[in-house]
Structure 1
């Protein structure tokens, strides 16, 4: 995300069951809700939404985009403040790629061998979470590579 240095700042707070993970400013916040992707800037219309497993992307005026994985939760948007209450929230740099790949493989196997709708739905939910973690890791990796090798 390319940000304007003069863009108004949006206050963001991300809290999980483990405590406050982030409290700070950004110029653009992108999240995955059950209704689709949302891009939020300073002055956005107030809303409440349910988050699905995915990444929270925070664009900053003077630093790289920051990535945080959330396993789901609630998003509250006020004109100058966004609050995210997440079941689990982990910075992309702290995610375990090997564990996410193992979880994906296990979930795929469980989906194939599920004997009930409930087992299938649980395996599918695990698969969606592991894929969201892997996407967050990959997007953060691409951002770092882009910063190391900017296009001239």
Structure 2
């Protein structure tokens, strides 16, 4: 099992982030959702709130989403 996955965060205007991460946590309609490498493919709405990325080195980056969608594919989020 891989320990990292490619993640892209985009807005209607531009790409906000692109890189390899260990984990993504966002606010879904029923609560927080954590996505790790190997997660089942998924398309779900996200609510306004923080999007936390755990980087390959263990550090964390935080973004704010005003809403949108989270798409999980076998090799990318």
TM above 0.5, yes or no, is yes
Q: Which consecutive aligned stretches of 4+ in structure 1 deviate over 6 angstroms post-superposition?
A: none
1:50 aligned residue (18, 41, 45):
45
Q: Hey, what does 1:35 align to over in structure 2?
A: 30
Q: Hey, what does 1:76 align to over in structure 2?
A: 71
- The whole-number CA distance in structure 1 between the counterparts of 2:41 and 2:29 is 17
Whose strand proportion is higher, 1 or 2? Answer: 2
Structure 1 regions of 5+ residues with no counterpart?
A: 1-6, 83-152
Whose helix proportion is higher, 1 or 2? Answer: 1
Task: Please state whether the residue corresponding to 1:81 is helix, strand or coil.
Answer: coil
TM-fit CA distance, 1:40: 0.6
- The whole-number CA distance in structure 2 between the counterparts of 1:31 and 1:68 is 10
Q: Hey, what does 1:14 align to over in structure 2?
A: 9
Q: CA RMSD in A?
A: 1.3
Report 1:63-142 matches (<5 A). Answer: 63-82=58-77
Aligned residues between the structures = 76
Task: Indicate the structure whose relative CO is greater, using CA pairs within 8 Å and at least 6 residues apart.
Answer: 2
TM-score, scaled to structure 1: 0.48
- The whole-number CA distance in structure 2 between the counterparts of 1:78 and 1:49 is 12
Deviations 1:85-109 (A, max 9, x none): xxxxxxxxxxxxxxxxxxxxxxxxx
Instruction: Report if the CA contact (8 A) 2:20-2:56 is conserved.
Output: no
